[in-house]
Structure 1
Amino acid sequence: MPSHRPLLHLALALSALVALTGCSAAAVAPPVSDAAQLTDDDGYIPDGSSLTLDSDLPAVRRLEPALLDALRSAAAAAAEHGAEVTIVDGWRSERYQEYLFAQAVRTYGSEEEASRWVKRGADSAHVAGAAVDIGTADAMDFLSRFGSEWGLCQTYANERWHFELLTRPGGDCPAPLADGRG
């Protein structure tokens, strides 16, 4: 995974703004040079790529079934409004998550600042298959306005692309946490 992945998240957040006006053992993390060793089996989706919700790749296939069903139902409704729901991140291996955390430390200069954006290993909802990062501003907007109809909620205020199944369908989403630290 190239070191500019956090920049992708920033770009997604900025595009959403325009359209709308992690286990703690660092030894598990592959060295930065090992990004090329991340594969589909890690849930890796190359930068600039996204997956549809009918993909058979592990990043989609290993999502919690209830989350995937909710996303597929929401995607059908979003399509009627001209928005295509794709993901740029879904299920991830713990190894991949630790790699992302190590990259975030390099980008942000400290573990404390990195933890605002990336969780460590098993602490991440992505590793549990319980979170997705949405690929386009129009889909982010649709899900932030209507996702609760399927139980889908934006989890973090600083990550407009990150959604989890946090309420029952038709329920109220909890207020987003400020960032990954809560």
Structure 2
Amino acid sequence: MNTSHATRQRRVTAMIGAALLAAIVIGSIVVISQQSSVPASASTPVVSDGALPGGGPVGEADGKIDEADRISVFDGTPAVSKLDPALLAAVQAAAVDAEADGIRVHVNSGWRSPAYQEALLADAIAKYGSAEEAARWVATPERSEHVSGDAVDLGPVDAQDWLSRHGSRYGLCQIYENEPWHFELRPGAVANGCPIMYADPTADPRVDR
């Protein structure tokens, strides 16, 4: 091989290497940009540490669960004990079976007082910049299934995955695509499977009830 041919090969190899490096850098920037645009973690609901309307502190009596806590589905805290009895029974039955598979289910959020829900909504509006965007994540107290005790947010991610595959046998269904932690009771799912999920709460016809 003559010197000029070897030089050309080295130049071509260098150009290919530079192009590959550029592609990797650009791809990384795109991935980071896409990840930063996701408004909330798939395992963490919006949690308020602020004050209730009127200035009082948010507390356990309002259904607040601290993010660092891992509340059992058998806990006596109001967030759990004030859930609809049928929903709570289904969650507890599922949790027992999940435990047998090595999966521990805990409650991120359950029943909430109307005042606590109002505080969460105010936080969401401040976080997302508008009432319209906040509505994709937090309902008003009048529309919230948490306030009525008919919804529970469960974690961690492996528990959500287990329930997405097995929850229907207990009548437990994920309702919103953007909130994989949010479960409600759908008794018909035991025989027919869970219904198709709504994209987010704004697509749920119950918001107009």
Query: Do both share a fold (TM > 0.5)?
Result: yes
Larger radius of gyration: 2
- C-alpha distance in 1, partners of 2:58/2:107? 18
Question: Among 116, 120, 139, which residue is 2:136 paired with?
Answer: 116
Paired position in structure 1 for 2:109 = 89
Greater Cα shift, 36-45 or 78-87: 36-45
> Matches of 1:119 and 1:72 in 2, distance apart?
25
Which whole-Å deviations, capped at 9, do the CAs of 1:16-65 have from their partners, x for residues lacking one?
A: xxxxxxxxxxxxx627xx5x701111001112223101111100000000
Tell me the distance in 2 between the aligned counterparts of 1:134 and 1:11: 11
TM norm structure 1 = 0.81
The answer to whether residue 203 in structure 2 is matched with residue 154 in structure 1 is no
| 1:173 equivalent in alignment to 2:194 | yes
Sort the Cα spacing of 1:181 and 1:132 in 2 relative to 1 into closer, same or farther, 3 A: same
Name the counterpart of 2:24.
Answer: none
Contact 2:98 2:105 in 1 (8 A): yes
| Structure 2 SS opposite 1:147 | helix
Q: Runs of 5+ in structure 1 lacking a partner?
A: 1-6, 14-28
Q: TM (normalized to structure 2)? A: 0.71
Shift of residue 9 of structure 1? 5.2
Tell me: CA distance 1:8–1:52, structure 2 relative to 1, closer, same or farther (3 Å).
farther
1:10: which partner in 2?
41
**Runs of 4+ off more than 4 Å:** none
SS at match of 2:153: strand
Residue pair 2:42, 2:180 contacting (<8 A) in 1 also: no
Change (3 A) 1:9 1:55: farther
Q: Which amino acid aligns with 1:12?
A: S
The structure-2 alpha-carbon separation of the partners of 1:114 and 1:164, relative to structure 1 and needing over 3 Å to count, comes to: same
CA RMSD of aligned residues (A): 1.9
Q: Deviations over 1:123-144 (max 9, x none)?
A: 1100010111112011100111
Quote the sequence identity (%): 44
Shift of the 102–93 alpha-carbon distance from structure 1 to 2, 3 Å rule, reads same
Equivalent residue letter for 1:61: S
Deviation at 1:11, TM superposition (A): 5.2
Mapped to 2, the partners of 1:9 and 1:38 lie a distance apart of: 22
